[in-house]
Chains A and B, each alone.
Chain A
Amino acid sequence: MSLLELRNIYKIYGELHALDDVSLKVEKGEWVSIMGPSGSGKSTMMNIIGCMDKPSKGEVLLDGVDISKESSRNLTTIRRDKIGLIFQQFHLVNYLTAVENVMLAQYYHSIPDEKEALEALDRVGLADRAKHLPSQLSGGEQQRVCVARALINYPEIILADEPTGNLDEANEEIVVDLFHKLHNEGTTLIVVTHDPEVAEVAQRTLVLRSGRLAKEIVNKNFTGKIHFDEGDAFRKEEIHE
């Protein structure tokens, strides 16, 4: 059984088909990138996977349970227990320190544990910045706090929305390295991005166009950081449906 399965998902806003019959499976421990130009439906898909939105039609199976019909209250619980979110804009609570921001996720999930939160910060290399407020951290550091916050509750899936969108190259590298580390530890990663350099390091890249899954590229040589040339190094897989 796949960890996450989308079955014939539609999301329709009036005339606009943001998602048009999309199906997709993500296995446990997989690292998947979702690419596509603006307006291709990336964000809509990300919101549906992240339990922040519901599809107009179709099923979303998370751990074998259909969550597409759940109330928004239950969705909150599911999101809290199973999904760690990373945003382009970081979104830290600006009056809480780095460690407190991490603890916030623990607080809503179960019980806050400062030691564990500090360990999480240590994993993203920010142990010495734990007592700093977001305004005292650089963009990269803020994003690493977000990563620490996302993984603190051992979620089934870490869902990152343009995690490097606001970062310079050096910080981008640090964050991508972190993803590698997480992947090696067995975390399921779904990264929404339009940066090919970020997408290419994943095991699999799904390309969305006008709300449809245009193609799926599997990185056969997936080991770590490798050069990437679309079409050549990748084998075109059969597109579902």
Chain B
Amino acid sequence: MFGRMIRGTLLRQWKKMLMIAFTIALGASLASAMLSVMLDVEDKVNQELKTYGANITVVPKSASVLNDIYEVEGGETTGAYLREDELGKIKTIFWAFNIVDYAPFVNVKGTLEDGTDVSVVGSWFNHHMELPTGEELDAGIASLRSWWEIESGEWLDEQSNENAQIAMIGTSLAQKLGVSVGDTLHIKGSASDGDFHITGIFDAGGDEDDQIFVPLNTAQALANLDGCIDSIEVSALTTPENELAIKVAQDPSSVTVSQYELWYCTAYASSICYQIQEVITDSVASPVRQVADSEGAILEKTKLLMILITILSLIGAALGICNLVTASVMERSSEIGLMKAIGAQNGAISGLVLTEIFITAIFGGVIGFFAGFGFAQIIGQTVFNSAITLKPMVIPIVSILVVLVTLAGSIPAIRMLLRLRPAEVLHGGR
């Protein structure tokens, strides 16, 4: 009989029930959309912040102390290099997945035909890597220097021009030399020389505007530095640093083993640096404070902002649902009065009304959840051009929210109606 009554209500009062379901669906979709976006916003903004370039630099151990100091005296090389064959190892560290991009650099001096000295930088442009994990990655400055403006020509494509003598040249140097795309530059290095075909002129808005960029191996050949690199720039997704990270970075021995493990297993810039040092022989990896710290600040603010907006919309959704459920229960005063009049116990009435509302709520909640996930995708695609990943924890949060809110909306109303005397309800003329 219970089932029959519920079925009766749901079928005969489907319009009202549909409205409750609709409101619950709205609330649930709002909640799940906001939660999905909030939980994913850190990753998404982190990706966006990669346009600021590398946040970790790796240099040879001795160079980190002596490099610039001796360069002032005119010494060109310090003799300390990183090994090119170890580059792949960066993608094997504990936080390999967080390494978005990286590129090696080698600086050599070149002389042009007219005797001008130029700085030639060898690097990866869009170096294709097949990782032991089966992953494929195109790494290099084409993505690490996203702020470069290509004034003419195009990005050097090293994949389709293997071992070709090609170069990109900075805008100020190009102006000084009066060269343009398609021209050929003869560069003489300390070991060999070659004719370089200019594929593009870039405006970097900095010192790089006076440099020539060539593929790594051709630069190495110029100075007979096969297999040697000066530095590596790494772009990694990092977690904003906290007290612990700073403490460990300053003195690893000052923390307990478990704190150390926590640090090692968190994607702090400092722990990623530490892990890179473990795989690259004689290297010093340090976070680029300008990028790493700012990223941290912005990520934290964005996340906090989204959390507060989410809380506001959750409260809004909760009160909205609560409201309508209360209103719709109140509307049934005469029905409840009648049930009491024919002898139904309070428990039975509450049970009936609650069951009906819950069936409706589950229906609305499920639809709302999917709709909300859809909204989240729209936001993700529009803003970040990528899908928002579904975090499993959204499901329990939304379900608990729907259940709590439905209960909070219906119980006070039911209690109020149960207090009414049946005669009043039936004859009150309301």
**Is A134 in the interface zone, CB < 8 Å from B?**
yes
Point out the residues of chain A lying under 8 angstroms from B429, CB to CB.
89-92, 94, 134, 142
Contact of B430 with A94 in the complex, beta carbons under 8 Å: yes
Bound form: Cα–Cα A94–B430 in Å: 7
Q: Determine the residue in chain B with the shortest Cβ distance to A91.
A: B429
**Is B178 in the interface zone, CB < 8 Å from A?**
no
**Is A139 in the interface zone, CB < 8 Å from B?**
yes
What per-residue 1/0 map shows which CB atoms of A69-99 lie under 8 Å from chain B?
A: 0000000000000000000011110100000
Q: Determine the residue in chain A with the shortest Cβ distance to B428.
A: A135
What per-residue 1/0 map shows which CB atoms of B402-430 lie under 8 Å from chain A?
A: 00000000000000000000000001111
Main secondary structure of the interface of A (DSSP, over half): loop
Contact of B427 with A139 in the complex, beta carbons under 8 Å: yes
**Is A166 in the interface zone, CB < 8 Å from B?**
yes
What per-residue 1/0 map shows which CB atoms of B329-363 lie under 8 Å from chain A?
A: 00000000000000000000000000000000000
Chain B nearest CB from A134 CB (Å) reads: 7
Main secondary structure of the interface of B (DSSP, over half): loop
Point out the residues of chain A lying under 8 angstroms from B428, CB to CB.
94, 135
Point out the residues of chain A lying under 8 angstroms from B427, CB to CB.
139, 166
Bound form: Cα–Cα A135–B427 in Å: 11
Sample (12) of A-B pairs whose CB atoms are under 8 Å apart: A89-B429, A90-B429, A91-B429, A92-B429, A94-B428, A94-B429, A94-B430, A134-B429, A135-B428, A139-B427, A142-B429, A166-B427
**Range class of the B interface residue count:** under 10
Number of A-B pairs whose CB atoms are under 8 Å?
Answer: 12
Point out the residues of chain B lying under 8 angstroms from A134, CB to CB.
429
Q: Give the total of A residues in contact with B, Cβ under 8 Å.
A: 10
Chain A nearest CB from B167 CB (Å) reads: 85
Residues of chain B touching chain A, judged by Cβ–Cβ distance below 8 Å, are 427-430
Chain B nearest CB from A93 CB (Å) reads: 10
Residues of chain A touching chain B, judged by Cβ–Cβ distance below 8 Å, are 89-92, 94, 134-135, 139, 142, 166
Point out the residues of chain B lying under 8 angstroms from A92, CB to CB.
429
Point out the residues of chain B lying under 8 angstroms from A166, CB to CB.
427
Given contacts A94-B430, A139-B427, 10 further A-B contacts (CB under 8 A): A89-B429, A90-B429, A91-B429, A92-B429, A94-B428, A94-B429, A134-B429, A135-B428, A142-B429, A166-B427
Bound form: Cα–Cα A139–B424 in Å: 11
Bound form: Cα–Cα A91–B427 in Å: 11
Bound form: Cα–Cα A194–B427 in Å: 19
Chain B nearest CB from A92 CB (Å) reads: 7
Chain A nearest CB from B34 CB (Å) reads: 38
Bound form: Cα–Cα A90–B428 in Å: 9
Output the residue of B428, B429, B430 with the most chain A CB within 10 A.
Answer: B429
Point out the residues of chain B lying under 8 angstroms from A142, CB to CB.
429
Chain A nearest CB from B421 CB (Å) reads: 13
Chain A nearest CB from B337 CB (Å) reads: 14
Bound form: Cα–Cα A15–B379 in Å: 59
Q: Determine the residue in chain B with the shortest Cβ distance to A166.
A: B427
Per CB-CB distance, the 8 closest pairs between chain A and chain B, nearest first, are A89-B429, A90-B429, A94-B430, A91-B429, A166-B427, A92-B429, A142-B429, A135-B428
Q: Determine the residue in chain A with the shortest Cβ distance to B430.
A: A94
Q: Determine the residue in chain B with the shortest Cβ distance to A89.
A: B429
